[in-house]
């Protein structure tokens, strides 16, 4: 499964490390990553890919929500097909 | 994929309140007909609870995996007047209770189809269903009813118009809030996913998934970027936005239909507001340049909006249906409520607006002592607009018992609250009491 993971929040030391560490634990491979500052907030987008036979979507989502709670960051995960459907002809 | 497109999509959902208003499963009940009412209701209960057993789970899963809020999960069924006609029961309240029980067990928000189609005349089941409406709708929470009283092909059944004025009044005397579950239509459509008027048409497949989209906030935000530019730009901007919103509806409908193993029917391209700030059709009209909705120019601005939404949406999905257009329910739209409260929008202007958009006088509160004939007159006027202009129109009016003009009646949640509006006090009683049928309009000499 492919999913877009967005991380938004105050810039802090080790954001990228924390998120990528958690994704590694969840067996999610990062295929693309970009970051920017939007309205002063640190905004990172990752494309993650993993085998759903191995790890279910809900498990990955919960893992990231737990991380969001620990770090105070806003983390969202959405399956990638949605973005294609809305943005591509 | 570009970062900007991802952020754009996320912003549409998180900040501009883009959501799927409803995934509605249409279910035919023709195979539940039985001359024994008890048996028919058991068959209905069994069919509903089997066919839609995964509806809520699938919708919740889609919401979780794709991050799109799905506000309501709903069911529409074949008009009960047709299903119950074969039984010998005196009234059909028990059918509404069966629908309620099934909806409760399934966890769906609303179930529509406690309906009758009487645009040309009544069959035996229609009489019983319409007479059962006040009791059926006041004793249930999730059941929605509708009656079609006119069509472009048949004209307007004035006997039904007269009766529906009385039914609305009777229901309001038991419980005014229940009136939000009752719609009187002209040119009702068979694949509408929106309530209270959804029913599963006779020409539909056994089961179908229809999707109703929302998204006034997204359109308003897009128009904020083109302030002062010509109307052509406004139209183009609305079209592009409607395209994206509809794509999401098409996508979600396809995913849901596949997961439920039910054919995907249509996307209803409607801009459906909610009472939250920034989710208002009235605010779009004000962004186009009106000081307040209701100002001269409102009808033109709404016509532009409605047409552009359809043009943008039609290309974005395989099948468009339902009511498709901009909704202007008073209680469900913070901008409309504000305009009524400040005296900027009256019933007559609202009626003019209904001539160019979907659907009609919707969620309009009037004084509780408004005579039944006056409500019938309002229904007749709306039906005439629909029948002559070949479009769907409807009346969902709430006589607010014990309330005076300007006071509020509260419906709760996404249904909002409506200020009681003044109604012209001249009586249409003699016109309404004539009964009979207004003949179908001529389809030539269109002036």
Looking at residues B130-140, what average pLDDT do you find? 98
- Would you call B5 and A87 a contact, using CB atoms and an 8 Å cutoff? yes
Confidence of residue A41 (pLDDT cuts 50, 70, 90): confident
- Would you call A45 and B6 a contact, using CB atoms and an 8 Å cutoff? yes
- Tens digits of residue pLDDT in B255-269: 999 999 999 999 998
- Tens digits of residue pLDDT in B2-60: 788 888 888 888 878 888 999 999 999 999 999 999 999 999 999 999 999 999 999 99
Return the top range by mean pLDDT from A33-42, B111-120, B402-411.
B111-120
Domains B23-186 and B212-438 share a fold: yes
Nearest CA in chain A to B12: A86
Output the pLDDT for position B253.
95
Nearest CA in chain A to B315: A89
- Tens digits of residue pLDDT in B282-316: 999 999 999 999 999 999 999 999 999 999 999 99
- Given CA atoms B57, B58, B62, B65 in this order, what sign does their dihedral have? positive
Looking at residues A61-87, what average pLDDT do you find? 92
Output the pLDDT for position B443.
83
CA–CA min distance B316, chain A (Å):
8
- Would you call B67 and A45 a contact, using CB atoms and an 8 Å cutoff? no
> Beta strand B110-117 with A74-79: parallel, antiparallel or unpaired?
unpaired
Does residue A67 surpass a pLDDT of 80?
Answer: yes
Output the pLDDT for position A2.
93
CA neighbor of B210 nearest in space, from B91, B284, B113, B275: B113
Size of interface A-B (CB pairs under 8 A): 56
Q: What percent of chain B has pLDDT over 90?
A: 86
Does residue B94 surpass a pLDDT of 70?
Answer: yes
Nearest CA in chain A to B9: A83
Residues of chain B in contact with residue A43, where contact means CB-CB under 8 angstroms, are: 7
Output the pLDDT for position B35.
96
Cα dist. A62→A9, B57, B118, B447 in Å?
Answer: 18, 18, 52, 62
**Domain covering B23-186, topology:** Anaerobic Ribonucleotide-triphosphate Reductase Large Chain (3.20.70)
Looking at residues B74-83, what average pLDDT do you find? 98
**ipTM here:** 0.88
Q: Please, how many CA atoms are within 13 Å of residue B215, restricted to the half-sphere of its CB?
A: 34
Name B334's Cβ contacts closer than 8 Å, sequence gap at least 6: B273, B275, B276, B277, B279, B280, B282, B283, B416
Looking at residues B372-377, what average pLDDT do you find? 98
- Measured distance between the N- and C-terminal CA atoms of chain A, rounded to whole angstroms: 22
Q: Domains of chain B: which residue ranges?
A: 23-186, 212-438
CA neighbor of B346 nearest in space, from B327, B360, B330: B330
Cβ atoms < 10 Å from Cβ of B343: 11
- Counting Cβ atoms within 10 Å, is residue B50 exposed (0-12), middle (13-18) or buried (19+)? exposed
d(CA B241, CA B219): 6
- Pick B212-438's CATH classification: 3.20.70.20, 3.40.50.20, 3.40.50.620, 3.40.50.720: 3.20.70.20
Confidence of residue A40 (pLDDT cuts 50, 70, 90): confident
Best probe of the A interface among B1, B16, B64, B254, by most A CBs < 10 A, is: B1
Mean pLDDT of chain B: 94
Residues of chain A in contact with residue B1, where contact means CB-CB under 8 angstroms, are: 4, 47, 80, 83-84, 87
Output the pLDDT for position B1.
58
Looking at residues B402-427, what average pLDDT do you find? 91
Output the pLDDT for position B444.
84
The residue behind tokens 């509006």 is B421
The backbone torsions φ and ψ at residue B151, rounded to the nearest 5 degrees and listed phi first, read -155, 160
Contact A78, A4 (CB under 8 A): yes
Map out the domains of chain A with their CATH numbers. Answer: 2-87 (3.30.70.260)
Output the pLDDT for position B145.
98
d(CA B418, CA A46): 45
> Beta strand B182-186 with B70-77: parallel, antiparallel or unpaired?
unpaired
Nearest CA in chain A to B242: A86
CA neighbor of B23 nearest in space, from B61, B72, B64: B72
**Residues in B lying within 8 Å of A, measured between beta carbons:** 1, 3, 5-10, 12, 64-68, 244, 247-248, 250-251
Contact B191, B209 (CB under 8 A): no
- Would you call A82 and B9 a contact, using CB atoms and an 8 Å cutoff? yes
- Measured distance between the N- and C-terminal CA atoms of chain B, rounded to whole angstroms: 51
CA–CA min distance A70, chain B (Å):
21
- Tens digits of residue pLDDT in B271-284: 889 888 788 999 99
Cα dist. B266→B23, B269, B314 in Å?
Answer: 11, 9, 11
Residues of chain A in contact with residue B64, where contact means CB-CB under 8 angstroms, are: 57-58, 61
Looking at residues B381-387, what average pLDDT do you find? 97
Residue in A36, A76, A80 nearest the CB of B10: A76
CA–CA min distance A54, chain B (Å):
17
- Counting Cβ atoms within 10 Å, is residue B330 exposed (0-12), middle (13-18) or buried (19+)? buried
């Amino acid at each position: 499964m492919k999913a877009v993971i967005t991380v938004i929040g105050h810039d802090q030391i080790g954001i990228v490390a924390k998120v990528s560490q958690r994704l590694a634990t969840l067996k999610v491979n990062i295929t693309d990553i970009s970051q920017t500052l939007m309205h002063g907030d640190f905004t990172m987008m990752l494309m993650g890919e993993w085998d759903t036979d191995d790890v279910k979507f809900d498990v990955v989502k919960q893992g990231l929500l737990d991380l969001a709670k620990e770090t105070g960051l806003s983390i969202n995960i959405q399956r990638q097909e949605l973005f294609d459907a809305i943005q591509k002809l | 994929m570009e970062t900007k497109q991802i952020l754009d999509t996320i912003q549409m959902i998180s900040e501009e309140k883009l959501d799927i208003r409803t995934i509605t499963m249409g279910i035919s009940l023709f195979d539940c007909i039985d001359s024994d009412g008890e048996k028919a209701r058991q068959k209905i209960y069994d069919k509903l609870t089997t066919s839609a057993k995964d509806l809520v789970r699938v919708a919740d899963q889609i919401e979780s995996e794709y991050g799109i809020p799905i506000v309501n999960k709903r069911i529409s069924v074949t008009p009960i007047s047709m299903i119950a006609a074969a039984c010998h029961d005196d009234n059909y309240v028990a059918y509404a209770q069966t629908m309620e029980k099934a909806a409760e067990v399934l966890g769906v928000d609303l179930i529509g189809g406690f309906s009758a189609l009487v645009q040309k005349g009544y069959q035996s089941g229609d009489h019983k269903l319409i007479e059962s409406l006040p009791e059926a709708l006041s004793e249930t929470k999730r059941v929605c009813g509708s009656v079609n009283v006119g069509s472009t092909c048949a004209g307007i059944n004035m006997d039904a118009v007269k009766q529906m004025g009385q039914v609305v009044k009777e229901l309001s005397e038991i419980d005014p809030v229940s009136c939000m579950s009752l719609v009187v239509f002209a040119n009702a459509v068979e694949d509408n996913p929106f309530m209270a008027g959804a029913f599963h048409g006779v020409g539909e497949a056994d089961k179908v998934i229809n999707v109703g989209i929302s998204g006034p906030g997204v359109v308003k935000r897009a128009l904020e970027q083109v302030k002062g530019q010509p109307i052509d730009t406004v139209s183009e901007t609305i079209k592009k936005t409607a395209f994206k919103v509809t794509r999401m509806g098409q996508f979600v409908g396809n995913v849901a239909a596949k997961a439920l193993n039910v054919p995907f029917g249509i996307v209803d391209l409607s801009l459906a507001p909610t009472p939250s700030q920034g989710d208002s059709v009235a605010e779009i009209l004000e962004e186009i340049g009106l000081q307040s909705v209701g100002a001269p120019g409102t009808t033109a601005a709404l016509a532009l909006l409605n047409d552009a939404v359809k043009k943008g949406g039609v290309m974005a999905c395989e099948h468009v249906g339902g009511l498709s257009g901009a909704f202007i329910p008073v209680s469900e739209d913070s901008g409309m409520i504000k305009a009524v409260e400040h005296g900027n929008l009256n019933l007559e202007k609202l009626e003019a607006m209904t001539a160019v958009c979907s659907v009609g006088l919707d969620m309009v509160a009037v004084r509780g002592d408004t005579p039944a004939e006056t409500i019938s007159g309002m229904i007749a006027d709306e039906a005439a607009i629909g029948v002559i202009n070949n479009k769907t129109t409807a009346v969902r009016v709430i006589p607010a018992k014990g309330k005076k003009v300007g006071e509020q009646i509260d419906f709760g949640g996404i249904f909002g609250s409506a200020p009681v509006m003044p109604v012209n006090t001249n009586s249409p009683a003699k016109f309404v009491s004539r009964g009979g049928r207004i003949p179908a309009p001529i389809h030539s000499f269109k002036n």
